[in-house]
Amino acid sequence: MKTLEQQKHAASAWFRELRDRLCAVLENLEDERSESPLPAGRFRRTPWRREGGGGGEMSVMKGRVFEKVGVNISTVHGEFSEQFRKEIPGAETDPRFWASGISLVAHPCSPLVPPVHMNTRMVVVRGGSEPVAPFADSPIPRSWFGGGADLNAIYPDAADTESFHNALKEACDAFDAAYYPKFKTWCDEYFLIKHRGEPRGQGGIFYDYLQNGWERDFAFTRAVGEAFLSAYPPLVRRHMHASWSEEQRRFQLLKRGRYVEFNLLYDRGTRFGLMTGGNPEAILMSLPPEVAWD
């Protein structure tokens, strides 16, 4: 059985490995659209350090398939701010925390290629459980996994939506038949733009506070990453060579506005990053490069 430090190291190492694999696949897609007059994009990596402990690395690419795509990793530690402690289980008992994760957001050039979001993370809160003898003076850390993936097509395609959901369902079913319906519903409810009463996209899965044994939950979190890695590139290839109109581009920019509204008003990851002193550029990487409201 791994110690907590070994668990933390294994999780952060996986997020870095997944980042490298995702960047390689997305750069390959840039190369495949060879008919474009634009140069193929390449990721630019920018490390950053967090005042208070830890840091991360931004990987951002702008090219001929992706107008902007970011794959960020971070591993941070420290103490939750006093105003944020009440929102995290266990943090009011002991505000010390450790968190590591990966976040991907893709905004394609073509309105016909679906934007997508994926993130997974591991969080440890020192005050998560009551002290237990013989460690009465040292609370047992509480840790959990969370994350998910969701599709945000400008022009939804039934076949795309089905294949994306099927990949996530297969990953879920390998662990628990109840996971997919539960996490799909959670995703639909979470990614609702409440002030407009409309969904952000075509959904996927969302899970948080997963605590069914570290080994099992870590394996599931890896399976979600693998499912995304296999599911999304075929959707890009299916549409990236098709032409689009100015009208479709305009609609794309309007739909991106909805994405911005959700991320700035409701997104937990955005709030967590800003409230724990993360890098604003990395946190707001999710925002599209060009957007419109009407």
Residue-wise pLDDT for 197-223, tens only, equals: 999 999 999 999 998 999 999 999 999
pLDDT band of residue 233 (cuts 50, 70, 90) is: very high
Alpha-helical runs (H) found in the chain = 4-32, 158-173, 179-190, 214-239, 246-265, 268-275, 280-283
What lies within 8 Å, CB to CB, of 103 at 6+ separation is: 70, 71, 72, 73, 117, 118, 119, 269, 285, 286
* pTM for this predicted structure: 0.92
- Domain locations along the chain: 4-286
Q: Which of 9, 77, 107, 117 does the annotation list as catalytic?
A: 117
State yes or no: is 241 an active-site residue.
no
The whole-number pLDDT of residue 195 equals 95
**Using one digit for the tens of pLDDT, what is the confidence trace for 146-170?**
999 999 999 999 999 999 999 999 9
Q: What mean pLDDT value characterizes the chain? A: 91
Q: Between 3.80.10.10, 3.40.1500.10, 3.10.129.10, 3.40.50.1820, what CATH number should domain 4-286 receive?
A: 3.40.1500.10
What is the C-alpha to C-alpha distance for residues 131 and 134, in angstroms, rounded to an integer?
9
Do residues 80 and 208 make contact, with C-beta atoms less than 8 angstroms apart?
no
Give backbone dihedrals phi and psi of 68, rounded to 5 degrees, phi first: -165, 130
Contact 120, 174 (CB under 8 A): no
